[in-house]
Amino acid sequence: MRILLYQIGQLLTMDDHDGPVHGKAMQQLSTYERYAILIEDGKVVRIAPSVELEQVTADEKIDCHGKLVTPGIVEPHTHLVFGGSREHEMALKQQGVPYLDILKQGGGILSTVRSTREASEDDLYDKAMFHLDRMAQFGITTVEAKSGYGMDRETELKQLRVAQKASQDHPLDIVSTFLGAHAITEDYRDNPDALLDEMAKMFPQIKEENLAEFVDIFTETGVFTVEQSRRYLNEAKNYGFDVKLHADEIDPLGGTELAVELGAVSGDHLAVATDEGIRQLGNSETIGVLLPGTIFYLGKGDYARARAMIEAGAAIALSTDFNPGSSVTENIQLIMSLAALKMKMTPEEIWYAVTTNAAHAINRGDTAGKIVEGHQADIVIWDAPNYQYIPYHYGVNHVNTVMKAGRILYQRGGLIG
């Protein structure tokens, strides 16, 4: 199957750098006008000016005049597999009911844990596939998926197996993360170290069954301390996992510094990272994954200091943090707008943050986030004249066509096949 995209209004290949893009380099972005892309057997075989390719034979030719073409978006931080939903909590939040009081009423994360424990694998699978379809419609072609709504062996393995099956069955690529250390359940309230020990006992099985590539932990007041996180993640590294941290989301405990110390692939949230944490992040290879949708949805706290991080030399990625409690959206385009409006990121920085850097934040920098000859053809055609337009025109879906491995997965009007 040969497909030709031609007369592209503006093309972003995101292929200016070999690795993650750090600091001020994120402000430099190459564009190409009136170009064409030839795709064969799922891979990009030629990128050239349209005049050089318009006469080639192809099974399908797509006129991209006046449209933006980019790599597929990479989503580096989601809580994809979960049971139930928590829309009933919105009214409580609007009334100012504190989160801890919602927890006491059986709500919050404990509600999702309960629903996930009770849900069958089939139900969780169907729900995950639904959300993956919606992500694809917004231009996402690669997704990270965390467990973390079980915090017991049976449910955590159930979540990871659902993600594994979804990865096999859904066109999108899924990268799994074990987040058994997501919160402290009631039965471990007085002994969180015991919960970490129980979760660490799962490392050999998870590794043997290839259920996750990363191990993550929530380092936060009332959850796990820096020292507990250090011990737990070092043990994960001993089993051959790469590590991530939910770090410095609410209180500045030093989670950003710990992520750098451990050589974590990413430190995520970083909303209250200290000056020292930002300095260290800027001098490291750890990618800062920022989640402005969480701050927006919860309606409290400050947005991560993206400008300071970029000035310090950090590589920044963006994500929806899709989850049922604090960021209930699959719309990565909305996140791009929030990054511009609330974190003062430039359009150039935003595009690196949702493609190249997001791919490196989940160890997919060599296969995703770029349009390169010889690579898998993960491509989005946008109903937009240029890359600046997407974060500018907020709250709607600008996707015209999504291609995954050369297959047209979605076109405006609906999913295909």
Burial of 86 (0-12, 13-18, 19+ CB in 10 A): buried
Residue 417: the pLDDT is 59
* pLDDT tens, position by position, 172-197: 999 999 999 999 988 899 999 999 99
Give the C-alpha separation, 213 to 224, whole Å. Answer: 21
Q: At a CB cut-off of 8 Å and minimum separation 6, what does 409 contact?
A: 136, 141, 171, 402, 403, 415, 416, 417
Residue 267: the pLDDT is 98
Greatest alpha-carbon pair distance for the chain in Å reads: 71
Cα 288 from chain centroid? 12
* pLDDT tens, position by position, 54-97: 899 999 999 999 999 999 999 999 999 999 999 988 888 888 88
**Neighbour tally for 81: CB within 10 Å:** 28
**HSE of 275 in the Cβ direction (CA atoms, 13 Å)?**
0
Report the Cα–Cα distance between both ends of the chain, in Å, rounded: 16
Give the C-alpha separation, 346 to 219, whole Å. Answer: 29
Given a cut of 70, whether residue 410 has pLDDT beyond it is yes
Residue 415: the pLDDT is 67
How would residue 383 be classed by pLDDT, with cut points 50, 70 and 90? very high
Given a cut of 70, whether residue 416 has pLDDT beyond it is no
- Torsion angles phi and psi, residue 176, rounded to 5: -100, 145
Average pLDDT over residues 204-225: 97
Amino acid letter for position 96: G
> Exposure string (b/e) for 265-292, b if CB count within 10 Å is 16 or more?
bbbbbbbbbbeebbbbbbebebbbbbbb
Average pLDDT of the chain?
96
Give the residue carrying structure tokens 């909590």. Answer: 89
Under DSSP, the state recorded for 267 is: E
* pLDDT tens, position by position, 318-329: 999 999 999 999
Residue 101: the pLDDT is 76
* pLDDT tens, position by position, 329-348: 999 999 999 999 999 999 99
Residue 106: the pLDDT is 72
Structure tokens at 150: 């079980």
* pLDDT tens, position by position, 128-138: 999 999 999 99
Residue 89: the pLDDT is 87
Given a cut of 80, whether residue 98 has pLDDT beyond it is no
Helices (H) and strands (E) in the chain, counts: 17, 18
